[in-house]
Amino acid sequence: MGDGYHLADFGAYTVGGRMIDVAGRATREINFMPTASFTYDPNGTFAIEHLYVQYFVPASRNALPPVLLLHGGGLSGSTWETTPDGRPGWLHGLLRRGFEVHVVDNVERGRAGWCAIEGIWPDVPIQRSLQEAWTLFRFGRPGDFDARKPFPGQRFPTGALDTFARGFVPRWTSTGPAASAAFEALIDRFEQVTVICHSQGGQFAFEAAASRPGRISALCAIEPSGFTNTPEVLRGVPVLMVHGDFLDCDERWQQMNARWRAWVDALAGPDADDAVTTMSLPREGIRGNSHMVMMDDNSDVVLERVVEWLDGVRPR
């Protein structure tokens, strides 16, 4: 699409969640604008725990099922848009390749909103610092954060770290079941769908693949941090696990890497075939990728590999 993006349609919708009724709480005076004070009544009916989806349908669609893009923890659907250093994201790359794409803002993230009513969710939200992102996303050593000196060969655009951080959103630790339920409700809207998920999104994608047999025609998990309890429930679903470089940088990632391998092995089972595979980017000679593969400077190269895999496992 050197001449831009020709869309047959685009738009947004929300899925899942529940209504809660709040009663017996005290009203209070709100004076938030010089001209618009009013009595705030915290009682009533509130919509919570839905997710938000923005969808794009290219005018020339390929023959593969629509793609759901499910972001990781502390992030929103903006993960897949323009990269922090201003390049087109995977959303753009998928549209350019003729995929219909649905970008999710998960429960309590981004445009899905969140529940500000005390006592509904038991925990307090957490927020990611730049320092945590620096180490958790494998940009560089903790001691090199202040100097913004990344790992040698780092492909994440660490010069745009501040911009990346403006894409962080707070998160609760108690809303996993609600997020799973909403994502399953989303899956139910499709006959067949492809899921590309990242990090925390893996949890919800794998659970939905297990509980909605036959719906997810292919599942690409970019460095998933959550899984189903038993891999066997996913047999029959083509799964691709993609991971980047620098996994030896700390113990957490060494453990996660071992877990990915063990999980894929268990999922493949005795009749392993190519439909369940781990794509280790460094093992394929693609070095320098962080946890944020879809933002790294070779994001298009990795997406091309993912699309080749999708094409190989397409429903026929």
What residues numbered 58-87 form the site for its own copies, per CB under 8 A? 59, 73, 76-78, 81-82, 86
Of 90, 99, 114, 139, the one binding its own copies (CB under 8 A) is 114
Helices (H), 86-138: 90-96, 130-136
DSSP assignment string, 84-131: TTS---HHHHHHHTT--EEEEE-TTSGGG----STTSSSS--B---HH
Q: Which is nearer to its own copies, 187 or 286 (CB)?
A: 187
Give the H or E element holding residue 256.
helix 251-268
- Taking CB under 8 A as the binding criterion, the range among 215-223, 238-246, 252-260, 302-310 that sits at the site for its own copies is 252-260
Q: Which is nearer to its own copies, 127 or 192 (CB)?
A: 127
Of 65, 66, 113, 157, the one binding its own copies (CB under 8 A) is 113
Q: Which is nearer to its own copies, 25 or 274 (CB)?
A: 25
Residue 9 to residue 157: CA distance in whole angstroms? 32
- Binding to its own copies (CB under 8 A): which residues in 172-201? 173-174, 176, 200
Give which of 129, 126, 213 is closest to 164, Cα–Cα.
129
- Binding to its own copies (CB under 8 A): which residues in 275-314? none
| Binding of its own copies by 223 (CB under 8 A) | no
CB 203 within 8 A of CB 225: yes
| Binding of its own copies by 127 (CB under 8 A) | yes
CB 59 within 8 A of CB 10: no
Q: Which is nearer to its own copies, 128 or 287 (CB)?
A: 128
Give which of 14, 46, 16 is closest to 178, Cα–Cα.
16
Amino acid letter at 104?
Answer: V
Token pair in block for residue 78 = 């903006």
- Binding to its own copies (CB under 8 A): which residues in 5-34? 5-14, 17, 19, 22, 30-34
Distance of CA 46 to CAs 30, 37, 181, 204, 252, Å?
19, 21, 18, 24, 39
Query: Please, what is the minimum distance in Å from the beta carbon of residue 125 to its own copies?
Result: 4
Of 96, 148, 149, 165, the one binding its own copies (CB under 8 A) is 165
Query: Please, what is the minimum distance in Å from the beta carbon of residue 113 to its own copies?
Result: 4
